[in-house]
Amino acid sequence: MREILGRRRRLLSQRGDGGPDLLGAALTFAAEWQWPVLPGVPADPRARSRCACPDPECVIPGAHPFDPAVLAATTDARMVRWWWTNRPAAPIVLATGGRAPCAVSLPAPAAAQALAALDRAGMRLGPVVATPSRWAILVKPYSMEQLGELLYAQDWVPHSLRFHGEGGYLALPPSETGEGGLRWERAPLPGSASPWVPDVEAVVDAVVEALTRTGVSAPEL
């Protein structure tokens, strides 16, 4: 643990062979930030659009846990090191909720316009994970009751909004999935402290307002 805690790392650093440093990133998330992670099932190396899991119709290839299940997520550096030493290409999956961040995600085109509107309004955002099709805004942990009350209070909520809460998961950069590489649209600063994230209320209110104000109807993806 001593060799990990307090050390600054670049989350998008490259290994000597030019590939993403998945082990280094996983150790940063788990040991430094206390975010529970686990290895996901990778995309099928023979066809990146397919998943290596047993489900031939998997709609999120390379972006979900399988073996172990999400309940195995841990912050233990020794377990993380063992996992990625044996499965160096495995995507990094965050178990959302509890003491770890949750997330709100929406289709990438609508997300780009929403974030631009939020920037103009001066709203502070934390890390944002980007895939080719969707962006996920990390938020503070929330309960299902809290989320239900929040959504009930809205006049309109895009059906394409997705919520990664307690018991859920989210793949993190620099993982490679069936869609392609994950990246930080808004990158956390590397360091020993867990990145700041906003409340879910602020994000949902601001995203819905931004989408309404800009006339964006987020597609059903």
Predicted model pTM: 0.85
- pLDDT score at 48: 64
- pLDDT score at 50: 78
Question: How many residues in total does the chain contain?
Answer: 221
- pLDDT score at 6: 34
SS3 170: strand
CA neighbours closer than 13 Å in the CB half-sphere of residue 173: 22
The pair of three-digit structure tokens given for residue 20, joined into one six-digit string = 């993403």
Per the CB < 8 A criterion, the answer to whether 83 and 68 are in contact is no
Q: Find the largest Cα–Cα distance for the chain.
A: 51
Distance CA(176)–CA(45), nearest Å, equals 11
Segments in the chain below pLDDT 70: 1-19, 47-48, 190-192, 214-221
Residue-wise pLDDT tens digits, 75-124? 999 999 999 999 999 999 999 999 899 999 999 988 998 899 889 889 89
Three-class SS of 31-57? HHCCCCEEECECECCCCCCCECCCCCC
